[in-house]
Structures are given as C-alpha cells and as structure tokens.
Copies of this chain bind each other. A is one copy, B any other.
C-alpha cells in the first residue's frame, strides 16, 4: 500500500490538488474493479483543524493533520496564492524537511515548488513552476534550475509540475512509474483524460 499525502491550505488553488487527487484515488477504483484490495492510501492533510478555503473559495475538510508523526511515501504540495505565507511558515517547512528524509517521491504542482525550495529540497535540482511565475521564483532567490515549456520535471525523487492542470499529467506519469504504464493508462481511461481543449493557446501567450 503506497501512502500519499496531499497538503492543503488556505489559498490553495483548487485544481492543483484535486487533479492529482483524482488520479491517485482512481488507482484504487481500477485495482478494485479487478477484485484486488486497495493499492494506495490518499489523504488530504492540513496544518490545523477545520476546513481550508481554496484560492477560488472552495471549502474542503482535511482528512488529517501534518502534526501527526506519520511518514508518507509520496508528498504533494499544490500551489496557489496561499503558498506565499507558507514560505515563512516554519511549521510547514519543517514538516516538509522531515518528510523528505523518508519519502519515495516529493512532488509539487504550480507554485508548490516554491515551498519545496524554501524547505531546502531543490538545491542543484531542475524544477519548474507556473509559466507566469518564473520571474517571482528567480526574484525570491530560491534554489533550483528552472526548466521552461515542460509539464513536469523529475530530478532524483523530486518531481515538480507546471501550473494548475499540469498536476494531472505529472500524477499520471508518477502512477506509471510507481505501478506500471498499463495501470496509468487504465486510470487515464477511467478519468476519460483524452483532452481536447477547444481553443489553441498560442494567441493568449
């Protein structure tokens, strides 16, 4: 059983964490459809009791707290405007540092990579973040070599995804890596993730 903790906090961007949450929890649905037992244990963790309020206003109750001494195989830090206060939050940064000593994979989506950097986990590593926030990453003098025009970057056991929806692609890659490409394809099919955005992005960028 692979234990996966997704950290949520006030100001977290909603799709940043729900995209990977859907991918990871779908692993069990696919597994259990063939009669197997659970393959992953996925929990939303926050710093304090009670609901968090996301960047867009969605209120979510955590499944547990980071104050527990549990170790996790995978930790995911999403982004959102609420990441900025985390960069000064010793409690959260210490938790990330402690988890990093045991995790198989330390991951982030969007500006979540700023928290990994601030926790001292990205020194000399290739990382990414939201394409509109490369300048802020540099201005904050955070550790790491920024990689552009990718959906996610893996360097050692650190995997950082680009903005918001890129967390879905990263979580599917990680599913293929932790289990098998065949399982990842079945998760992708169950999510009907065969995306066809109605507009081309080129004109907006």
Contacts and interface: CB of A to CB of B under 8 A. Distances in A.
Interface of A: 13-15, 18-19, 21-22, 25-26, 29, 42, 44, 51, 56-61, 63, 110, 130-132, 151, 162-166, 168-169, 172-173, 176, 181-182, 184-186, 188-201, 203-205
Given A15-B21, A165-B192, 13 more contacts: A42-B56, A51-B61, A58-B60, A132-B190, A151-B195, A163-B192, A164-B193, A165-B193, A165-B195, A166-B192, A173-B198, A176-B199, A184-B199
A192 B164 contact: yes
Nearest to A165: B193
Contacts of A173: 198
12 contacts: A15-B18, A15-B191, A18-B18, A25-B56, A42-B56, A132-B190, A164-B193, A169-B195, A169-B197, A176-B198, A184-B198, A189-B201
A15 B131 CA distance: 23
A191 B169 contact: no
A48 to B, nearest CB: 16
Nearest to A167: B192
